[in-house]
């Protein structure tokens, strides 16, 4: 079978050892005679899976005891609405606009009755190729929302803004890929389909003091109730939580977040170094704002971009077509993508560039 490298933005590549373990355990989980997809979410088998995943993630992120970890459904897109519904008691929130997904978050928050949403900083003027300077903000806001990594635009926060209000983050595309001082966040949420598990799971991390502030919420949208029920008011995504737990242990074996960040910086460095000297390909993103996990690049000629994507796909480099809002190409370098994949891609790009110059 042809060697395939999956550069998809999500659902994304999972670690090969995890896929093999899932395959080995699929028909009979821990000798139970039942697949992990068949076991009850009320069973001791699943309770062990759940608590192990929760504790391992807490250890990876160094989360204090006053944070709840929720394993929910609905993706980050549901959190765009669920977050303000739960913690916006003053009905006033600040958002940092860094691209497509932060704009989506703003749109959903504005749907809440009486909600005032202020865009306090934006990189729109630079076509979202930078991260804006966020002003010092007061406690007048219920929270300040950032998107730590912008999957489409290829930018990321390297320094957190200094704000008095609770800092909350959509961390979908770089959770566990680089270290942040996680204790500085009031809420973190992330779709799991990029660095954690198959699509269908959403990780939400909430500080205790932000729970229970709003009552009378729809049951499935209530952080407090979900925390009380350990994410199992209804049937949780059992298979995804099981896979997530395996990935958390895989990360621990690689030195945790600090260890995988070192690898991710090496991966991204291979591609960015090539782009810096290439006469055909270039990156549109300001150097200081570049993401470690999503790297857009282009030739400047849409027809040549399309030719490259087709040639790369035929050679086994999959899902490199850029998002329609940016164009060109995009390589997503998530935790599970091996460094050899990036080295092989750069080698292919060098050969393509030589051929394009003839």
Of 132, 182, 135, the residue nearest 157 (C-alpha): 132
Q: What is the DSSP string of 333-349?
A: --TTS-HHHHHHHHHHH
How far apart CA 79 and CA 51 sit, in angstroms, is: 23
Catalytic one among 170, 222, 240, 305?
170
Q: In sequence order, what are the residues at sequence separation of 6 or more whose Cβ sits closer than 8 angstroms to the Cβ of residue 337?
A: 5, 6, 7, 12, 13, 267
Q: In sequence order, what are the residues at sequence separation of 6 or more whose Cβ sits closer than 8 angstroms to the Cβ of residue 301?
A: none
What are the residues facing 121 on neighbouring strands?
96
What are the residues facing 267 on neighbouring strands?
none
Query: Is 267 a residue of the active site?
Result: no
Query: Is 250 a residue of the active site?
Result: no
Catalytic one among 48, 66, 97, 101?
101
Query: Is 194 a residue of the active site?
Result: yes
Q: In sequence order, what are the residues at sequence separation of 6 or more whose Cβ sits closer than 8 angstroms to the Cβ of residue 51?
A: none
DSSP strand pairing (67-72 vs 116-122): unpaired
Instruction: Find out whether 273 and 82 touch, Cβ atoms under 8 Å.
Output: no
How far apart CA 315 and CA 317 sit, in angstroms, is: 6
Tokens of 261: 């960040």
Radius of gyration of the chain (CA): 21
Of 110, 86, 35, 127, the residue nearest 119 (C-alpha): 110
DSSP strand pairing (149-150 vs 116-122): unpaired
How far apart CA 120 and CA 22 sit, in angstroms, is: 45
- Cβ count near 355 (within 10 Å): 10
Catalytic one among 97, 142, 194, 305?
194
Q: In sequence order, what are the residues at sequence separation of 6 or more whose Cβ sits closer than 8 angstroms to the Cβ of residue 23?
A: none
Kindly list the catalytic residues. Answer: 101, 170, 194
């Amino acid at each position: 079978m042809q060697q395939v490298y999956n550069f998809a933005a999500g659902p994304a590549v999972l670690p090969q050892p995890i896929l093999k373990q899932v395959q080995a355990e699929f028909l009979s989980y821990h000798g139970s005679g039942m697949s992990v997809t068949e076991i009850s979410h009320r069973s001791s088998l699943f309770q062990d899976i759940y608590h192990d995943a929760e504790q391992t993630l807490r250890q990876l992120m160094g989360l204090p005891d006053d944070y709840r970890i929720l394993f929910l459904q609905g993706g980050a897109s549901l959190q765009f609405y669920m977050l303000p519904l739960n913690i916006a008691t003053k009905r006033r929130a600040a958002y940092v606009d860094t691209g497509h997904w932060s704009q989506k978050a703003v749109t959903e928050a504005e749907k809440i009755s009486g909600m005032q949403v202020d865009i306090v900083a934006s990189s729109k003027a630079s076509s979202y190729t930078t991260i804006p300077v966020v002003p010092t903000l007061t406690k007048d806001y219920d929270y300040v929302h950032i998107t730590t990594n912008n999957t489409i635009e290829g930018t990321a926060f390297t320094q957190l803004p200094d704000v008095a209000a609770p800092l909350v983050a959509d961390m979908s595309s770089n959770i566990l890929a680089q270290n942040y001082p996680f204790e500085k966040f009031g809420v973190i949420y992330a779709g799991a389909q990029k660095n954690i598990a198959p699509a269908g799971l959403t990780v939400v991390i909430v500080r205790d003091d932000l729970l229970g502030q709003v009552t009378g919420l729809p049951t499935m949208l209530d952080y407090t109730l979900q925390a009380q029920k350990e994410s199992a008011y209804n049937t949780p995504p059992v298979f995804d939580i099981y896979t997530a737990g395996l990935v958390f242990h895989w990360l621990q074996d690689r030195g945790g977040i600090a260890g995988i960040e070192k690898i991710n910086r090496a991966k991204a460095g291979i591609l960015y170094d090539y782009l810096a000297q290439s006469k055909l390909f270039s990156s549109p993103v300001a150097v200081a704002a570049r993401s470690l996990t999503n790297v857009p690049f282009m030739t400047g000629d849409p027809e040549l971009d399309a030719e490259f994507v087709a040639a790369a796909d035929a050679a086994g480099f999959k899902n490199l077509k850029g998002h329609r809002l940016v164009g060109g190409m995009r390589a997503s370098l998530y935790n599970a993508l091996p460094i050899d994949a990036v080295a092989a891609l750069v080698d292919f790009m060098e050969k393509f560039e030589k051929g394009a110059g003839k």
